Chains A and B, each alone.
Chain A
């Protein structure tokens, strides 16, 4: 595919369940970002992967959130014991290098998570 893809596009789950969100970045992009966008709110940074370096997890809101990136490509964001306040759109973005160095971030369409 030409762009960043995310799956599922929509996820409804019950409070307390675990969910996994997947991101397929653009081929060759070394940087991958996860963001969260709550209804009517701006984008909240969650976690960032750059190549084989240890990820910057400073944006993760709690220890229920974790993410991994296998083989420097696909990334999975896992939310354990989901809470209603986790309901949001989770956006993934990738770039060839660091966005701070002028590399454009390309965003996926997002996964809309609803925790009942």
Chain B
């Protein structure tokens, strides 16, 4: 009920391509779905977040798509750049804590 699944574990994308990371959750009570970006040696930083009352949210090159009925949400990075190479964590909020997925290591190659 509390688990957040994330795939793929690692992803290699060419510069200019689209990076897609998928997450799934089980608990329908979750009402907050953030994505975090983490560079090596740094703490995670909030990238973008969505609530279940919207199906899509876009900020610059980053878009979250949300499918409430399927209990899935995904992050799309358009025009991926080498500077986007990092680990990405999806998360879901329930009561007073956010549960993180295991992370996706993204490498954008020139």
Interface positions of A (Cβ within 8 A of B): 4, 33, 35, 41-45, 48, 50, 56, 58-59, 91, 93, 98-102, 104-105, 107-110
What 0/1 readout, one digit per residue, does chain B (9-50) give for beta carbons within 8 Å of chain A?
A: 000000000000000000000011010100001111110010
- Of the candidates B46, B96, B100, the one whose C-beta lies within 8 Å of that of A104 is B46
Contact with A42, one of B89, B94, B96, B97 (Cβ below 8 angstroms): B89
Q: Are A56 and B97 in contact, CB atoms less than 8 angstroms apart?
A: yes
Cα(A102)–Cα(B45), bound, Å: 14
> Can you name 19 extra interface pairs (CB under 8 A) apart from A48-B97, A100-B98?
A33-B97, A41-B102, A43-B36, A43-B91, A44-B100, A45-B98, A45-B100, A56-B96, A58-B97, A91-B44, A98-B96, A99-B32, A99-B34, A100-B93, A102-B51, A105-B34, A107-B45, A109-B41, A110-B43
- Residue contact B45 to A42, C-beta cutoff 8 Å: no
Question: Closest 5 A-B residue pairs measured CB to CB?
Answer: A107-B43, A100-B93, A42-B102, A43-B100, A100-B32
Are A50 and B96 in contact (CB-based, < 8 A)? yes
**Do the beta carbons of A100 and B45 come within 8 Å of each other?**
no
Q: Which of A4, A45, A50, A102 contacts B99 (CB 8 A)?
A: A45
Neighbouring A residues of B44 by C-beta, 8 Å:
43, 91, 107
6 A-B contacts (beta carbon < 8 Å) = A42-B100, A56-B96, A56-B97, A91-B44, A100-B32, A105-B46
**Distance in Å: Cβ of B59 to nearest Cβ of chain A:** 13
Please indicate the chain A residues that have their CB under 8 angstroms from the CB of B96 in the complex.
48, 50, 56, 98, 100
If A45-B100, A48-B97 touch, whether A101 touches B43 (CB-CB below 8 Å) is no
Nearest CB of B to A54, in Å: 11
